[in-house]
């Protein structure tokens, strides 16, 4: 027999002065292969059209539907209700600005973070639109692509003890981003330049190694490994600068 699911959903509209944060309860009959994406849409269609939540691709690619599912950050479209108990509590991601109910603005945070870590290829080479594209070793391209798979959902930031306590901490997503550019031969930044961006307590040295990021990342990015590599690299960079060798 199909289960009757109970949803506790956080409700608050910061735009509306009469709205105050509270939890609304909804009930749904569970259907086969039901995801939270399906469930939330059904609730909005049949029970409460004012319910706010974000969706786009419903296939784990756009990263818009990240939310706290029974206390853990995850993608609603990737979460089957059959993997959850009968009572499901949904909250918006912490840290990010709340738009309303389950919808948060990750865009502003990510834009600011990308500006901070200068998330683009730094090169002095003049771009020639007619020239053939530079070739890259396939193995390296795949290594870079592995880190590029990030969908910017914000789960790693929401699960991070450090980021939750300290708003200036850039989070695993930023380290992953920097690691990607360090690998990229087209980026001409020196180790010291990377160090100036990320070799701080807001960057890699602020990370306490709680590995919430690693354990919740819906794309299973190798965050633990990248954080470890980056800490060592930046640690050595500081030692090299102290004894004045290397660049």
Partner 1 sequence: MTVNTTAYVRSPSRTSAYLDWLQMLTGVALILFMWSHMILVASVNLGAGVMNALAAFLEATYMAQVGGPMVGCIFLLHFILAARKVPFRAEQQSTIWKLSRQLRHTDTYLWLIQATTAMIILIMGSIHMWTVLTDLPITAAKSAGRIQGGFWLVFYLILLPMVELHVGIGFYRIAVKWGFARRKDRKKFKRFENYLTAIFIAIGLITLIRFLLLKV
Contacts of 114 (CB under 8 A, 6+ apart): 177
Output 61 or 95, the one with its CB closest to partner 1: 95
CB of 212 to partner 1, least distance (A): 6
**SS3 state at 7:** strand
Of 110, 112, 74, which is closest to residue 92 (Cα–Cα)?
A: 74
In whole angstroms, how close is the CB of 121 to partner 1 at the nearest point?
A: 20
CB nearer to partner 1: pick between 34 and 231 = 231
| E strands, the chain, in order | 4-11, 22-29, 66-69, 72-75, 87-91, 97-100, 103-105
Closer Cβ to partner 1, 59 or 238, answer by number: 238
User: Taking the complex as a whole, how short is the minimal distance between the CB of residue 90 and partner 1, in angstroms?
Assistant: 12
Q: In 10 A of CB 19, how many CB atoms? A: 13
Q: How far is the CB of 142 from partner 1 (least distance, A)?
A: 17
Nearer to partner 1, 42 or 224 (CB): 224
Q: How far is the CB of 25 from partner 1 (least distance, A)?
A: 19
Q: Which of 87/201 has CB closer to partner 1?
A: 201
The smaller minimum CB distance to partner 1, of residues 60 and 222, is found at 222
Question: For 228, how many CA atoms within 13 A lie in the half-sphere containing its CB?
Answer: 7
Region for 22 from its dihedrals, namely left if φ exceeds 0, alpha if ψ lies in -120 to 50, beta otherwise: beta
Shortest gap between Cβ of 16 and partner 1 (angstroms)?
23
Pick from 202, 242, 54: which is nearest to 116 by CA? 202
C-alpha–C-alpha distance, residues 71 and 105, integer Å: 19
- What is the binding site for partner 1 (CB under 8 A)? 68, 71-72, 94, 108-109, 112-113, 115-116, 159, 161-162, 164-168, 170, 195-196, 199-201, 203, 205-212, 214-216, 222, 224-225, 227-229, 231-232, 234-235, 237-239, 241-242
């Amino acid at each position: 027999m199909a289960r009757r699911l109970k949803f506790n959903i956080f409700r608050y509209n910061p735009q509306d002065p009469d709205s105050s944060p509270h939890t609304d309860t909804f009930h749904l009959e569970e259907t086969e292969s039901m995801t939270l994406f399906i469930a939330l849409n059904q609730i909005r269609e049949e029970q409460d059209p004012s319910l706010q939540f974000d969706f786009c691709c419903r296939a784990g690619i756009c990263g818009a539907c990240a939310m706290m599912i029974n206390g853990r950050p995850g993608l609603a479209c990737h979460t089957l209700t059959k993997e959850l108990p009968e009572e499901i509590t949904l909250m918006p991601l912490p840290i990010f600005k709340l738009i309303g109910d389950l919808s948060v603005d990750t865009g502003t945070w990510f834009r600011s973070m990308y500006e901070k870590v200068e998330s683009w290829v730094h090169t002095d080479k003049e771009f020639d639109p007619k020239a053939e594209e530079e070739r890259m070793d396939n193995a390296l391209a795949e290594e870079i692509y592995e880190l590029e798979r990030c969908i910017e959902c914000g789960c790693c930031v929401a699960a991070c003890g450090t980021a939750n306590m300290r708003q200036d901490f850039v989070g695993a997503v930023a380290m992953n981003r920097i690691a990607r550019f360090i690998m990229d031969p087209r980026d001409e930044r020196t180790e010291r330049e990377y160090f100036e961006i990320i070799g701080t307590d807001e960057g890699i040295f602020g990370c306490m190694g709680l590995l919430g990021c690693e354990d919740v990342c819906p794309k299973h990015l190798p965050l633990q490994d990248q954080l470890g590599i980056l800490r060592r690299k930046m640690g050595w960079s500081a030692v090299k600068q102290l004894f004045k060798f290397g660049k």
